[in-house]
Chain A
């Protein structure tokens, strides 16, 4: 059985987890087994809806202390559930919680782990998973040699696909170990879409000259319903908040659309965005290296092009 760990936040299931469910369902079909889901904690989301991504059952440990990520505790619960349910493959989204949990679960189940998977495994001859390496500059095929296998999939690599199962929700109960960490404060950026969950991203670099010029970028992002990002020097100079910094040393994203405005396209910047499906580059320098990595390019002054693009989007509605 393929067991998919489903994450939730802000009263909804994360889209990266729905994608993991679709991936798990496709893998289960390939292996001729069922795909089931595991949810920890409490959420008002309708769990039987996971059938729409191919789950036949949803196992639910409805204990609200599990809503908070305590890696030691939550990984123990996941590993015990997987053992009770006889899961042979576990799927996680390679998001913040998945990155923390999957390796700990792998240790507990003595399972081989591949994180950052970018496509479905090849299973005719062994079990081989392709993952991104060198910050998106290459792929590696990795063979998992253990009886139980764990895969953490890159966000936006597979997509969310519709199925028409109705999943049965089955409560599970455990003796939950006592917490190992105490959460004392949560600070969320209000009203903004988290960058890692966004499918459209508009990003600005030093070419915008100063924080006072960000209005044109924000207008475009608003028109598109996109999240905003920036290059490292921009966040280093405090023109934009640090959580917007994408790249090798910032966060890595893979949206459907990345629009880069006044960013030169240094290799360290590309390492954070090169898995984007479509890249649009707006830069006044035709020699800017970013054009080599772009699908669409506009050679021009951002201060003219960006407002024109926003206006064109408005007109097209």
Chain B
């Protein structure tokens, strides 16, 4: 069993977002970078759990990014995983990133490709579906439970108002979310081992960007909260009906 886990770097969930250079770049001042939570907690840990059950499993991590992603990928290696591949390209275009991941996946002949459900910075929720389409593989989104039965994966995924179980033959691309696995923290042994695990850097394949971020903008500040006295709920109901017009 060979698993490819897609790892992306995002600002810490508490990061204060601001922009520079005429609102064309994220202001990285003071930003802590983390592994995208869905990639770390759910997809990577689920792959590691599988390897713990079946030690013949090989886990490769792939990231598309500049050299600045290396501390993040080392942290992911410290959690588990055997080798990492960094495609040396910085792009916000989902198709470009997916094309790079698909090229790596094609080379490695993986049985399973895991992505997170979305990145918490660009919130595209697109890479997994695109990788599957490029490779012409089945795709299951928003998986919250995953088991294997021989060459078949049995996957539960979120649907509106419930869950659905799907059976699919490998290879398959799966986007992972809460429920897949329990969050872990790397231990000292993992951190030491990660230092010597192979991290291959490779140059990107040629690909034209299909989209381009022109500018960022912060949302307008809230008007400020209107306080209503706790013993005057009639007034709150009136405001919701007549002012906000939401009920």
Interface residues of A (CB under 8 A from B): 9, 14, 69-72, 75, 94-96, 99-104, 106-108, 110-116, 128, 130-146, 180-189, 192-194, 196-197, 199-200, 224, 242-243, 245, 248-250, 256-257, 267-268, 271, 277-278, 280-281, 291-301, 304-305, 308-309, 311-313, 315-316
Contact = CB atoms under 8 A, between A and B. Distances in A.
24 contacts: A14-B160, A71-B138, A71-B141, A106-B95, A106-B133, A112-B210, A128-B214, A130-B217, A139-B217, A140-B214, A181-B140, A182-B166, A183-B166, A184-B165, A187-B163, A187-B165, A197-B161, A199-B246, A243-B162, A257-B246, A277-B244, A296-B239, A298-B228, A299-B230
B164 A187 contact: yes
Interface string B224-236: 0111111101101
Given A186-B165, A245-B178, A299-B230, 7 more contacts: A14-B160, A138-B219, A140-B215, A180-B137, A200-B247, A250-B178, A312-B234
B159 A295 contact: no
Contact of A189 (B122, B162, B234): B162
Contact of B210 (A70, A141, A144): A144
Interface in B172-211: 178-179, 209-211
B120 interface: yes
Contact of A138 (B128, B218, B226, B231): B218
A107 B130 contact: yes
A131 B215 CA distance: 11
Contacts of B126: 99, 102-103, 106, 113, 115
Contacts of B166: 181-184
A315 B234 contact: yes
Contacts of A193: 161
Contact of A316 (B37, B212, B241): B241
Interface stretch (B10-18, B57-65, B77-85, B105-113): B10-18
Nearest to B123: A116
B225 A291 contact: yes
Given A267-B13, A297-B225, A299-B227, A101 B124 contact: no
Given A72-B132, A295-B223, A113 B13 contact: no
Contact of B233 (A100, A132, A133, A312): A312
Nearest to A225: B247
B164 A183 contact: yes
Interface residues of B, number: 78
Nearest to A245: B178
A80 B55 CA distance: 43
Nearest to B217: A139
B237 A181 contact: no
Contacts of B226: 295-297
A108 to B, nearest CB: 6
Contact of B237 (A9, A102, A309): A309
A309 B141 contact: no
B216 A292 contact: no
B33 interface: no
Contacts of A134: 11, 17, 120-121, 123
A312 to B, nearest CB: 4
B225 A248 contact: no
Contacts of B93: 112
A298 B209 CA distance: 49
Given A113-B210, A295-B244, A192 B161 contact: yes
A18 to B, nearest CB: 15
Nearest to B223: A295
Contacts of A301: 230
In order of increasing CB-CB distance, the 3 nearest A-B pairs are: A300-B230, A194-B161, A112-B210
